Amino acid sequence: MIDTTTPGGSRRMRPSVIVTGVATAATMAGLLGPAVSHAEKVWDLGSYDSCAQAASDRHSQGKTTDSEFIEEMQFCCIRSDGEWNTQAVKCQAPPATFQTAPQSPRSVVAPAPGKAALP
């Protein structure tokens, strides 16, 4: 770190060092941030089942109304990373993410001259 010493003996950073540090931090945050957002959503069925059972027990004992019971079931679904289906009034597994297996360089074949390749 580059610093200058003032006559009083205290040290102070130059503004260019501060600007460079802030710019570097912002760049790294931009590059590293997106890697976390691509995680696949997985429904924790065990967590949902135990939460839904507790909600069902409370409802059967008369401790919750029908609308409160549905709200609790929706909460259990969202908390366990499920997808709440409002029309069917039930929790479902999140849609699978389509992923293709990577191809080896030998399996990728270029089209013959004069022929267009279809995607």
pLDDT tens across 49-76, in order? 999 999 999 999 999 999 999 999 999 9
Shared domain for 30 and 55, answered yes or no, is no
Work out the average pLDDT over 14-20: 65
pTM greater than 0.85 (yes/no): no
Burial of 55 per CB tally in 10 Å (0-12, 13-18, 19+): buried
Q: Is residue 97 part of a domain?
A: no
Judge if 50 and 27 occupy the same domain.
no
The tally of domains found in the chain comes to 2
101 assigned to some structural domain: no
Report yes or no on 75 lying in a domain. Answer: yes
Q: Which of 4-8, 21-25, 47-51 has the highest mean pLDDT?
A: 47-51
50 and 87 together in one domain: yes
- Note the pLDDT of residue 87: 95
**Mean residue pLDDT across the chain:** 77
Q: What domain range includes position 28?
A: 3-38
Cβ partners under 8 Å of residue 78, min gap 6: 84
Q: Do 85 and 53 lie in a common domain?
A: yes
Domain annotation covers residue 118: no
Which residues are CB-contacts of 73 (< 8 A; sequence separation ≥ 6)?
Answer: 52, 55, 89, 90, 91
87-105 per-position pLDDT tens digit: 999 999 988 776 666 666 6
